[in-house]
Chains A and B, each alone.
Chain A
């Protein structure tokens, strides 16, 4: 490396980060799809010209996309080199959503644009946005019972959507002829392309100011240093093998749990993630493609070390052995719609459950870790038109060394807000009977898990069909270091007053409803952290006063005896010591 000083290096790092953050901002603010505009289900980054490796990524991107676009960008570069994709010209933008070419699920549509400098490609800017529909069997793309990717929607290999800066009307026509609510996609496409142009322009400013050679040198050095930083964090962990596990309730088709088995081996300054022994590829859509499996590990590590910047360098010391033959390395034509929303969160949970043993001060017990996707499609006779609604919901976070878990937190992979009850009732023929904290759902622990959510929706008029893609119905989010598991996810559908529980607990498609029928959901609580009998009795008393737990829970779960709302010290000491002797 030439003599690039620390100052210039730090300055260029901050400037590259700024470019990505501005791309994120531009994309969200002008997008049409609420999934992008409100839920920020999108991400932007800068990638190397040689192999697409990640140079910098916006911090406001959806966490599940951490590192993932380097795989799709790499694939585009390789396919160009192999002559399978037309070579780029200045102003071209490629579109691709093929899951098996370094993707997630079909709804995540990627744009990749080479940035030209003096007649050569300097780097790539890429982004991904979750489109509200991509065709396929069900609106929105989350078919719980698909058994092949063709049922999930339109699959695009890398093709030039923009040629020399101009939208190709033929490809555009093919896309819009194959998706629902196509007329609004032009807005999202323009927003997605404009964000890349913002990135390119800002990048030019940096190159003009510091010089191309300096920036190239800085990027290489930053990569080396990011690796060094991650290695320093890893080196502080005791050598050894840390085991983690997590279960997906079922694949939606076959009612059997899918197991993620993880052994993390820490040696010197490297972590090796071995998923061998995990379940085989499944029939239903709960398969994960390799790129998503990788990004799930990266995102979990990013949650553990939030201050290490996202870049290919930081990923270097994280060695992920290819989980061949498992559902975490799905091949064509396995269906994959559930990979980004649910399987990714189970992979992260397996990482948390292994790493909490290695880093008990940094890692939390398991969070609810489900997007809580509930879809309702039907016809509103009053408005005379069909409707499709999505309700996303949060759940409890895991307790940790410092404090209790947060209640109703966002999914591990998301950063989006859930919609207000009032807005949902304005837009759809439904009424919420309640929307409240799910009492008693946080896993007991020295620091308890956060509480999940308890809501009930009633269909006011017409007929509709309900679908669920949730998880943690079979086993609750895992407690850590002696803490209890959080409460499991529950779904109950009341039809003509009769309770129906989905066979797969957290997943089912097309349950017919008529006016007056109700859907009740309890989302998972977070796992508890540490032995509940070590919890401060006054904190337990306060929890009971606030109605988070009953006095009976206090005794049963935390071994704290309350009398008229105050802690009975003697009885508590007696109970706790008797408990410990058992």
Chain B
């Protein structure tokens, strides 16, 4: 089978999340889709991946292409389970990654701790110095460098970072140092600071490189183990891995820039959302992925997910490579509700996490959470909860709401749970607004794309709060990340700093830079194992008014643009964002960006829910009617099996849709319709 055909064959998308490993298998031969959900195997994610594949019943050897999203590197960083890594810096600057930018974890409270990814005793210095222009001020001391490398090898370091000041302006010293290091280093894990991020800012570049180096051996081992497991089951081909920018890369190349796989999971969810929403006719989307401990939010405009070069994955841990701009909001199903000294109800920021989790998980949780409120209010089905150890009765949970919250607020258990739900929704809506529509967008132009286990439970209420007129619930909300793996494109991003007033721009140089970036991207895609159907090139510029520090991203129509065009596009974008026009001040172009995207064949999403299982009428899909609490009253609410709904179902809320791993709540007055891809589109009542 040729590589081109591989992409048209049987494709498996596998996403390893914190709790579950999700799988989606597309079989063009039979027109079927197989779905798998198995527990994530924390110590070696490869076992979970293989067992998910095996659970489909389809022999692994028959699969043509495997695309994989992994949290291996994310977890390694967050839990500091990193490879022992050494760092060599310019003399006088070994503390750059520990000093940070003089911050603290929160605005109030003079407390907090920070552990750098590489401890100080493994950070050595070598004599060399460049000026900001890139001019050599002190030549590289090669003897001192060899001594330093030798010491780090003796210290048992497995990976090495070379990070010199101003290497973005002139990489000569870093390149020479890497050359020497590669002669001496026992393996290939040598990272230079400028290679991932060629921009000024020594802390951010240094941390990005340090993260890359310290996850490289871990990712390499993982990819190796997975390849071995797959090979032993007859899958000998290359597989693809999801990068944080929402594009895939061959497993053969992925470890070199391992840091790019941080945010792999959230990125694939957003890519699936963009894909699904575009097919459903929605180009502007706020994605809303609510899980147990946190909620991920991203903005999609004109069917393109926003990409950021400035993601900070936790306090003082910036990873400045292009990644889908996913904001994590610290609220999830496990967010704990309390009543404070002022007698006001607070939801979060504390979370019951996965352990002990909400009370209803029966793992020893005793504090009421948002998930528990959903249970008490009849929104979640107590008999269909996933991940329950020993069931706790709804009555017991309601009693805890009454004891812990209701008593002081003079509410019974149900009303207390109702208050927690309402407040939790308000908090979440506020946080979502800050990272999406508060950035100068009109919410009425957007749809809320709800996924994750808990997203569709809250989406209608949130959309109403945010003035977003409609909600999209995809066919399989619980495996959206795995779908992202299946539909993702190949993608390469390039950034070049120009930093000139628009009036001084050389139009020829501008075109040359953009074209060069595009050529480089096309060459990289040509090296991949999978051939895209089309290659799309997008250019943009990061701009500001002279004197500003924040940037806004302006899409460019092509590589050849005039100064006047650039100026006009910027002014339009600025006005749209801030409602301010400043004819008095000159515009400045800071970065030129190009993204080269290899688009794959479109996939028929209607098969995500087996068409044969669908019933002809709504009534036939109904499983029960149960009381559910809406805005202060119990309403007898019909419950439908999502898989059995007629494709073109029309439902007027209240209604509840249940499927294996997600529950959708349609509130009174909201109107839901099924579309051809199996999505539910809900028009939210005002």
Q: A194-B580, A364-B111, A431-B137 are in contact. Are A422 and B92 (CB under 8 A)?
A: no
A548 to B99: give the CA distance in the assembly, Å. Answer: 13
For the complex, is A418 an interface residue (Cβ under 8 Å from B)?
yes
Q: Given the known A-B contacts A232-B341, A546-B119, are A306 and B580 also in contact in the complex, defined by CB atoms under 8 Å?
A: no
CA of A26 to CA of B439, assembled, Å: 8
Kindly identify, within residues 77 to 99 of chain B, every residue whose CB is under 8 Å from any CB belonging to chain A.
Answer: 91-96, 98-99
Query: For the complex, is A400 an interface residue (Cβ under 8 Å from B)?
Result: yes
A34 and B342 alpha carbons, distance in the complex (Å): 38
Asked whether, in the complex, the Cβ of A425 is within 8 Å of the Cβ of B166, the reply is yes
| B103 lies within 8 A of A59 (CB) | no
A30 close to B549 (CB less than 8 A) = no
Residue of B112, B345, B582 near A6 (CB, 8 A) is B345
Does A415 count as interface, using CB distance less than 8 angstroms?
Answer: yes
Residues on B with C-beta less than 8 A from A28 are: 550
Determine how close the nearest CB of chain A comes to the CB of B486; give it in whole angstroms: 36
Q: Which residue on chain A has the smallest CB distance to residue B133?
A: A426
Q: Please indicate the chain A residues that have their CB under 8 angstroms from the CB of B106 in the complex.
A: 306
Q: A25-B438, A187-B582, A434-B92 are in contact. Are A14 and B430 (CB under 8 A)?
A: yes
Q: Given A228-B341, A397-B104: A187 and B438 within 8 A (CB)?
A: no
Q: Does the CB pair B101–A225 fall under 8 Å?
A: no
Contacting A at CB under 8 A, from B404-438, are: 409-411, 418-419, 422-423, 426-427, 430, 433-434, 438
| Interchain CB contact under 8 A, B340 and A29 | no
Nearest A-chain residue to B346, judged by Cβ:
A10
Q: B108 — which chain A residues lie within 8 A by C-beta?
A: 59, 63, 302-303, 306
Across the interface, which residues of B come within 8 angstroms of A31, CB to CB? 548
CA distance A9 to B340 in the complex (A): 13
Contact A37 B550 (CB under 8 A): yes
Say yes or no: A194 contacts B200, CB within 8 Å.
no
Tell me if A280 is interfacial: C-beta within 8 Å of chain B.
no
Across the interface, do A303 and B109 meet the contact criterion of CB distance under 8 Å?
Answer: yes
A432 an interface residue at 8 Å Cβ cutoff? Answer: yes
Decide: A187 near B102, CB < 8 A? Known: A11-B426, A435-B95.
no
Q: Is B509 an interface residue (CB 8 A)?
A: no
Is A184 an interface residue, CB under 8 A from the partner?
yes
Looking at chain B's contact residues, is the secondary structure mostly helix, strand, loop, or mixed? loop
User: What is the interface residue range for chain B against chain A?
Assistant: 35 or more
Report the Cα distance A233→B202, complex, angstroms. Answer: 43
Chain A positions 470-523 with a Cβ under 8 Å from a chain B Cβ: none
**Complex interface: chain B residues within 8 A of A453 (CB):** 99, 102
CB-contacts of B326-379 with A (<8 A): 340-346
- B585 at the binding interface (Cβ < 8 Å): yes
Nearest CB of chain B from residue A123's CB, rounded to whole Å: 20
* Inter-chain contact B200/A30, CB cutoff 8 Å: no
Whether A233 lies near B120 (C-beta < 8 A) is: no
Establish whether residues B582 and A190, one from each chain, have CB atoms under 8 Å apart when the complex forms.
yes
Q: Does A394 sit at the interface, judged by CB under 8 A?
A: yes
A106 at the interface (CB under 8 A from B): no
User: Are B101 and A417 in contact (CB-based, < 8 A)?
Assistant: yes
Contact A226 B113 (CB under 8 A): no
Taking a contact as CB atoms closer than 8 A, the residue among B92, B345, B550 that contacts A29 in the complex is B550
Residues on the B chain within 8 Å of A6, using CB: 343-345, 409-411, 419
| Chain A residues with CB below 8 A from B96, complex form | 421, 435
In the bound complex, CA of A225 to CA of B131 (Å): 58
B423 pairs with A14, CB closer than 8 A: yes
Is B1 on the interface with A (CB-CB < 8 A)? no
Given contacts A60-B107, A186-B584, contact A9 B137 (CB under 8 A): no
Q: A173 within 8 Å of B by Cβ?
A: no
> Which of A241-249, A271-279, A403-411 faces chain B?
A403-411
Q: How far is the CB of B387 from chain A (nearest CB, A)?
A: 30
A466, CB-defined interface residue at 8 Å: no
State whether B202 touches A422 (Cβ < 8 A): yes
A165 → chain B, closest Cβ, in Å? 13
Q: Could you tell me if B548 and A37 are in contact, using CB atoms closer than 8 angstroms?
A: yes
Cross-chain contact B121 with A410 (CB below 8 angstroms): no
Shortest distance between the CB of A354 and any CB in chain B (Å): 15
CA distance A225 to B549 in the complex (A): 40
CB–CB A10/B345 < 8 A? yes
Bound Cα distance A226, B341 (Å): 9
In this complex, what residue of A is CB-closest to B584? Answer: A186
CA distance A420 to B585 in the complex (A): 26
**How many whole Å from A58's CB to the nearest CB in chain B?**
10
Are A228 and B578 CB-contacts (below 8 A) given A436-B95, A547-B120?
no
- With A29-B578, A364-B111 already in contact, the answer to whether A183 and B99 are too (CB < 8 A) is no
Instruction: Indicate if A22 sits at the interface (CB-CB under 8 A).
Output: yes
Complex contact B110–A30 (CB within 8 A): no
Contact pattern, A 12-53, Cβ under 8 Å of B = 1, otherwise 0: 011101100110011011111110011000000000000000
Q: Name the A residues within 8 Å of B580 (CB-CB).
A: 30, 187, 190-191, 194
A225 touches B548 (CB 8 A): no
B342 touches A14 (CB 8 A): no
Contact present for B578 and A409 (CB under 8 Å): no
Report B496 CB to chain A, min CB distance, Å: 16
Contact A21 B434 (CB under 8 A): yes
CB contacts (< 8 Å) of B91 on chain A: these are: 434
| Residue A402 is within 8 A (CB to CB) of chain B in the complex | yes
B202 in contact with A228 (CB, 8 Å): no
Within 423-437 of A, Cβ neighbours of B (below 8 Å) are at: 423, 425-426, 431-437
Write the chain A residue with the least CB distance to B586: A183
Chain A nearest CB: distance from B551 CB in Å? 10
Cβ-based interface call for B579 (8 A): yes
The answer, yes or no, to whether B114 is at the interface (CB within 8 Å) is yes
B341 touches A425 (CB 8 A): no
B547 sits at the interface (CB 8 A): yes
Q: Of B113, B343, B418, which one neighbours A403 at CB under 8 angstroms?
A: B113
Q: Which residues of chain A from 209 to 224 have any CB-CB distance to chain B below 8 Å in the complex?
A: none
With A25-B434, A190-B580, A402-B111: A425-B342 Cβ-Cβ less than 8 Å: no
A9 to B411 Cα, complex, angstroms: 14
Q: Which residue on A lies nearest to B582, using beta carbons?
A: A187
* Bound form: Cα–Cα A546–B121 in Å: 5
Contact across chains for B98 and A437 when beta carbons are under 8 A apart:
yes
A406 / chain B contacts, CB cutoff of 8 Å: 104, 111-114
Q: Mark A174-201, 1 if CB is under 8 A from B, else 0.
A: 0000000001101100110010000000
Query: Could you pull out 12 A-B pairs where Cβ atoms are within 8 angstroms?
Result: A9-B344, A22-B434, A25-B434, A63-B107, A187-B548, A187-B585, A406-B112, A412-B110, A421-B202, A425-B166, A434-B91, A437-B120
Known A406-B111, A437-B120; 7 more pairs at CB < 8 Å? A10-B346, A38-B550, A184-B547, A409-B104, A420-B202, A425-B132, A437-B95
